[in-house]
């Protein structure tokens, strides 16, 4: 999925150096050095078109949605509705009824756990997650297990950071109610063959929840082709605003699920004797949504469509190849996560240097990476490390950024060699 360049269709090259001009934040000095932003896994920077769309919305169209007959409210509602259609098209959902706006990936997964999970999972059931999940795809299921008495199972991975298909299959049974799996690991970069696992899970009668936080900005995503039941992602990792995200769910499942939060917009009628629910997707969107966030997300999708997701994926794969080659020939550097299918995320450790020191020294050279457990503590436990340093790439990164990364790594190693 992440390497369309390997396919038959030629992919138009992406001019990252030119695209950088679209991102105002990139043109600044950090600690006296030009900013080299390699923390795209945490959040991506925003092109001016996204920033402008949000500002322009507040300048001209701001009103609450689906509530007023006045023109401003109609304009705001139109923009909100067209953002939903934009998301539908991005992930190829069958209908906008299947696109629910949330605060982000975390809230989207919690919605599934609390609505689908609480209404279907029994004490004898099992929920299967993988060993490489982000806490957002572990803890909501643990909370559900605590509430229902169900059991959490964990599908193991190998030392390269790849899930083991046989072990996964063995863990599936008629007890498995939900399989929750990341599309791309934020800590390792592994791209999981979601469709293969979804087919296995469906054969066992489970529904499949995919955490798409780290995949959706880095290549084409088609939820129908993935054959998943739910797919969650965050706008801020897709070059859009924070505070807006998406839960895709198959309409038949969403129809049967009870509301998660109650309030305005999610109801059809309310009386003190009882209430009835609005149609999809509104049933799951209680209260005033993040309208400006949806507008910004829509602008981000426009921007990315203008570049092309195949081109983005090919560019990032080239960066990954380059960074991996350099890392392999860098003495004292170990990559953590060597799956055969990887997104452009390089987690590493430098012998004898704590990852936090690596992060601090790199920052002093203007190179911004993430260090820590990446909200994936079980992954750190598996690899026997307290933390890793992680460089994660985006569409505006260049081989110059990789050179700067390795100059800074040399500097860190030289400092600690003294
Ligand atoms: N990972 C990282 O630096 P939210 O916070 O809801 O936008 O996304 C949560 C989340 C869920 N799943 C995966 C695979 C993720 O990578 C993330 C966020 C960031 O890796 C922050 S911990």
Contact indicator for 240, 300 with CB cutoff of 8 Å: yes
pLDDT computed for residue 145 by the predictor? 98
pTM above 0.95? yes
**Residue with the nearest Cα to atom 2 of ligand 1?**
42
Q: How far is the CA of 130 from the centre of ligand 1 (A)?
A: 16
> Residue 16 and residue 394: Cα distance in Å, rounded?
9
Answer yes or no: is pLDDT of 6 > 50: no
For the segment 60-85, the average pLDDT, to the nearest whole number, is 94
Counting ligand 1 atoms within 8 A of each CB, the residue from 37, 135, 140, 234 with the most, and so the one to mutate, is 234
Q: Does the pLDDT of residue 308 top 70, yes or no?
A: yes
Residues with a known catalytic role:
375
- Domain range list for the chain: 16-46+308-417, 51-305
Directed axis angle between helix 291-307 and helix 48-56, to 10°?
150
Please name the residue whose Cα sits nearest to atom 19 of ligand 1.
42
pLDDT above 80 for 12: no
Sign of CA dihedral 9, 95, 111, 203: negative
What are the pocket residues of ligand 1 if the criterion is a CB atom closer than 6 Å to any ligand atom? 41-42, 104-106, 134, 136-137, 182, 186, 211, 213-214, 234, 370, 374-375
pLDDT tens, position by position, 221-232 = 999 999 999 999
Centre of ligand 1 to C-alpha 77, Å, is: 29
Q: Which CATH number fits domain 51-305: 3.40.640.10, 3.30.450.40, 3.40.50.300, 3.40.630.150?
A: 3.40.640.10
Ligand 1 mean position, distance from CA 163 (Å): 20
Nearest CA to ligand 1 atom 17: 213
- CB 320, CB 342: distance < 8 Å: yes
Residue 365 CB partners (closer than 8 Å, separation 6+): 31, 33, 404, 407, 408, 411
CB 74 within 8 A of CB 204: no
**What is the reported pLDDT for 3?**
47
Q: In testing the pocket of ligand 1, which one of 42, 113, 186 has its CB within 8 Å of the most ligand atoms?
A: 186
Alpha carbon nearest to ligand 1 atom 3, residue: 42
Which CATH number is associated with domain 16-46+308-417? 3.90.1150.10
pLDDT of 10 over the 80 cut: no
Whether 90 shows a pLDDT value over 90: the answer reads yes
Tell me, what's the pLDDT at 11? 67
What is the pLDDT of the chain when averaged over all its residues? 96
What atom in ligand 1 is closest to the CA of residue 42? 3
pLDDT given at position 1? 47
Phi and psi angles of residue 271, each rounded to the nearest 5 degrees, phi first:
-140, 170
Q: Given this model, what pLDDT does residue 13 score?
A: 84
What mean pLDDT is predicted for residues 99-126? 98
Distance 307 CA to ligand 1 centre (A): 24
The reply to whether 51-305 shares the fold of 16-46+308-417 is no
Rounded distance from Cα 134 to ligand 1 centre (Å):
7
pLDDT at residue 231, as a whole number: 99
| Omega before 281 within 30 of 0, i.e. cis | yes
Q: Find the helix or strand (DSSP H, E) in which 76 lies.
A: helix 71-91
């Amino acid at each position: 999925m992440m390497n369309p360049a390997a396919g038959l269709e030629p992919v138009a090259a992406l001019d990252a150096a030119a695209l950088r001009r679209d991102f105002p934040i990139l043109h600044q000095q950090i600690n006296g050095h030009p900013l080299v932003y390699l923390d795209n896994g945490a959040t991506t920077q925003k092109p001016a078109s996204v920033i402008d769309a949000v500002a322009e919305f507040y300048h001209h169209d701001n009103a609450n949605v689906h509530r007023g007959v006045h023109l401003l409210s109609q304009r705001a509602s139109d923009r909100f509705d067209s953002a939903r259609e934009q998301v539908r098209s991005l992930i190829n959902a069958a209908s906008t009824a299947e696109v629910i706006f949330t605060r982000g990936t975390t809230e989207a997964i919690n919605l599934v756990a609390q609505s689908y999970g609480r209404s279907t999972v029994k004490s004898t059931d099992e929920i299967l997650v993988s060993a490489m999940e982000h806490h957002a795809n572990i803890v909501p299921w643990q909370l559900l297990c605590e509430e229902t008495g169900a059991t959490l199972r964990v599908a193991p991975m190998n030392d390269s950071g790849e899930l083991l298909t046989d072990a996964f299959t063995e863990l599936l049974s008629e007890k498995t109610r939900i399989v929750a799996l990341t599309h791309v690991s934020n800590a390792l970069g592994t791209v999981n063959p979601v469709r293969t696992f979804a087919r296995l899970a469906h054969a066992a009668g489970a529904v499949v929840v995919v955490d798409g936080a780290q995949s959706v900005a880095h290549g084409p995503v088609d939820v129908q082709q993935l054959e998943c039941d739910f797919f969650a992602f965050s706008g801020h990792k897709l070059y859009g605003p924070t505070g807006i995200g998406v839960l895709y769910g198959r309409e038949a499942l969403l129809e049967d699920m009870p509301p998660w939060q109650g309030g305005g917009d999610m109801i059809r009628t309310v009386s003190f004797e009882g209430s009835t629910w609005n149609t999809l997707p509104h049933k799951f969107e209680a209260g005033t949504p993040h309208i400006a966030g949806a507008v910004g997300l829509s602008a981000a999708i426009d921007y990315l469509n203008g570049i092309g997701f195949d081109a983005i994926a090919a560019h990032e794969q080239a960066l990954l190849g380059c960074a991996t080659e350099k890392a392999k020939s860098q003495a004292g550097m170990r990559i953590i996560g060597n799956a055969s299918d990887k997104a452009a995320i390089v987690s590493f450790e430098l012998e004898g240097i704590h990852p936090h020191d690596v992060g601090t020294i790199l920052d002093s050279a203007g190179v911004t990476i993430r260090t820590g457990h990446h909200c994936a503590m079980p992954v750190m436990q598996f690899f026997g490390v307290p933390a890793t340093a992680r460089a994660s790439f985006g569409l505006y990164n260049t081989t110059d950024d990789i050179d700067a990364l390795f100059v800074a790594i040399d500097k860190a190693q030289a400092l600690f060699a003294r």
